[in-house]
Structure 1
């Protein structure tokens, strides 16, 4: 007697399958006006900080490394017209540039979403056949898929809601986001989207111990490159674990409380970027230092009149009340990267100068005797109610004078935070300041105009044409069609 087991007619969908189906199924009609508006701001800001970052030492080291891989199939290196790189390495060096000063956008739960996605998309868009050109709307859709996937993955863990301790988030979710975005741009089917996610997961992860060093910008560059590389492998039929997002030994390896969740249905899709904007920084440093700078800026008026200097000798003690984030607790930073990750440096520099700028992180400014004297009078305190979350942390600063007077100010939401976003005027001023250090006025204005009208642009290659020009005149500037 034979016995037969009937196979079930329905197999429950996995989280990984769900993600692959949504990545494949989303189209431009799902984008809302608010998502388009916010993502265009992110794109403009990312291009600006990336262009500025091409002047940094870590970017030039990445260039020297990547020149080994030059080939006939190549993409633009932002701000350079004299050479190009294969798309994987163009994505890598441009991603390094975006994060080289810690000037790129930040989201909640904590990650830098744009730098892992935009360089990969622009590099890929340049090397495909001419008949396969991508519109600005194609770029916007793929970009937002990459941003959305990162946000959804960050919500798989309560641990991710706090400032990270173990893994640098963009090295984890940014790699997956880059794969999702480039898979979308290439219109891969559900099976290859799933494979791209699986391959990307094996590239993911970088330890927080390399924060405040020249290595940290490589995390973004690698996320952009490896996500694109994963998509390339998937497009060739390479396969990985088909449940990579479902398993504790998959993406769950990066989180102690991993709890994957399904995405909304395509019929009623709701974007995270519709629900919450990103933070766009006013100066190039760890996001937590922006609360410190705003609090000290408000307090400074009690100590300084008009253009007078800060009365350092009258100051007895400076107390900065912030969350206990150890890698941003650096009493005496010795490099620009350490200074960008120092609550103390942000407080004392703002007190001395009234603000923080790109120039604040020069060796000359970091080594000022008056700054070191203020740093020696500064200590951090960590109130129990001040949680290390970018959504609800605060900074309170108390300055005690030698005569016993105490001045205090508190910042709950700095200007540039998602609850208090930069105005369009200030965003464009930031972009102008950053991009004009590398590009001509014509190219800088061309990028602003192109991003402003990105959903109408017929061929997004025009962005790369502007990005590669050191000097542009009216006769050589690319034309924009929409």
Structure 2
């Protein structure tokens, strides 16, 4: 659904790590403590952040490959290796093995295959750690080589981590910028959606909003190869379409999970709005989640113009979701497959995860399936 967290440098940090840890923890003879699970999770996130910070190219919206398929598999391997208590050398081998399963082309974004990228990253990272535990070896220096992990970034420039014993180690995770989405779409869509909502509000301040009264819609967005889809025909294309997200926000004064179903996508009034869109890519609008903006200008049939610009959407790291909104997002999604007791139980466990002696209670709540909806 493209609903997972996103950070800068650009990737989805949790999606490739958490499923591997839950699967592994459930299978272990001794259930790890909440603190052990949390530490392994943080290690998986940390490794991704370190690798991304070795490249300036990685800070921008990607051009060639889908980042979770590259750094996500490394995060999954690192987290799994930590939970399996592998040695430092074994951890290096796990990352080496995982690197040979990394990579997915951007050509498959906006298709049903994109979600498979992060699924493969999860699975292959976990497999890499388990294979190393069984004795498989790779090149433990793979992170230091241009023809190792460096093949994925033209400007890859790794640096040595400080020794923990010297007291010089700082978690990159503590300085990492994470965005939690409130709509299930590519992160870039959030800027243009908020700008569209603000432009509609300007119209409603002086008159009622009627989509038939809109003569022209101008979107000013950063250039990108894969999030420019003028007339989407599937939910996956819609999640990667500046045009669709702007027009849906204008038409409904909102964007939700249901906005991306086929019935909504194929509405006549939505298609009419889409036909009025012109997209511009100003030179000052960089394809970078830290620097980009979304601007929407509406021209009505009587020649009036209403414009709005969004520099920071609600959910961006500069404007983070409130805790109650984050919990509500989880509950809304989880309740489609779990009972209310299971959903509330997970929230309670996660809010105190570091105090859990083992994760048995978490797994018990995860198994409380809502039979009416599954």
Structure 1 length-normalised TM = 0.75
Deviations 1:178-198 (A, max 9, x none): 000010111111111111011
CA contact (8 A) 1:303 1:311 kept: no
Deviations 1:101-123 (A, max 9, x none): 00000011110010100000010
- Describe the SS at the equivalent of 2:279: strand
The equivalent of 1:406 in structure 2 is 305
Alignment partner for residue 359 of structure 1, among 230, 239, 258? 258
The equivalent of 1:283 in structure 2 is 183
Deviations 1:68-92 (A, max 9, x none): xxxxxxxxxxxxxxxxxxxxxxxxx
The equivalent of 1:311 in structure 2 is 210
- 1:293 Cα deviation after fit: 0.9
Matched, 1:213 2:121: no
The equivalent of 2:293 in structure 1 is 394
The equivalent of 1:337 in structure 2 is 236
Distance 1:216 1:171 in 2: 10
Distance 2:247 2:231 in 1: 11
Matched, 1:427 2:323: no
Matched, 1:120 2:20: yes
Alignment partner for residue 95 of structure 2, among 163, 187, 197? 197
Indicate the larger mover: 261-270 or 326-335: 261-270
- 1:306 Cα deviation after fit: 11
The equivalent of 2:47 in structure 1 is 149
- Describe the SS at the equivalent of 1:396: strand
CA contact (8 A) 1:276 1:418 kept: no
CA contact (8 A) 2:8 2:177 kept: no
Structure 1's consecutive aligned runs of 4 or more residues displaced over 2 angstroms after TM superposition are 302-308
- Describe the SS at the equivalent of 1:328: coil
Distance 2:36 2:206 in 1: 51
CA contact (8 A) 1:279 1:418 kept: yes
Please give the residue correspondences for 1:35-434 in structure 2 after superposition, counting only pairs within 5 Å.
101-129=1-29, 132-266=30-164, 267-304=167-204, 310-434=209-333
CA contact (8 A) 1:300 1:351 kept: yes
Distance 1:306 1:415 in 2: 25
Distance 2:250 2:172 in 1: 37
Distance 1:141 1:302 in 2: 47
- 1:303 Cα deviation after fit: 2.5
- 1:358 Cα deviation after fit: 0.5
For structure 1, list consecutive stretches of 5 or more residues without a partner in the other structure. Answer: 1-100, 473-482
- 1:461 Cα deviation after fit: 3.0
Indicate the larger mover: 251-260 or 459-468: 459-468
Structure 2 length-normalised TM = 0.96
Larger Rg over CA atoms: 1
- 1:133 Cα deviation after fit: 2.4
Distance 1:243 1:439 in 2: 44
Please give the residue correspondences for 1:10-29 in structure 2 after superposition, counting only pairs within 5 Å.
none
Distance 1:227 1:113 in 2: 13
Distance 1:251 1:314 in 2: 53
- 1:441 Cα deviation after fit: 1.0
- Describe the SS at the equivalent of 2:9: coil
- Describe the SS at the equivalent of 1:242: coil
Deviations 1:190-225 (A, max 9, x none): 111111011000010000100000000011111110
CA contact (8 A) 1:125 1:461 kept: no
Cα RMSD for the two superposed structures: 1.5
Distance 1:249 1:268 in 2: 29
- 1:471 Cα deviation after fit: 4.4
Distance 1:429 1:232 in 2: 36
Say how many residue pairs are matched: 369
- 1:268 Cα deviation after fit: 3.1
The equivalent of 1:442 in structure 2 is 341
Distance 1:177 1:157 in 2: 17
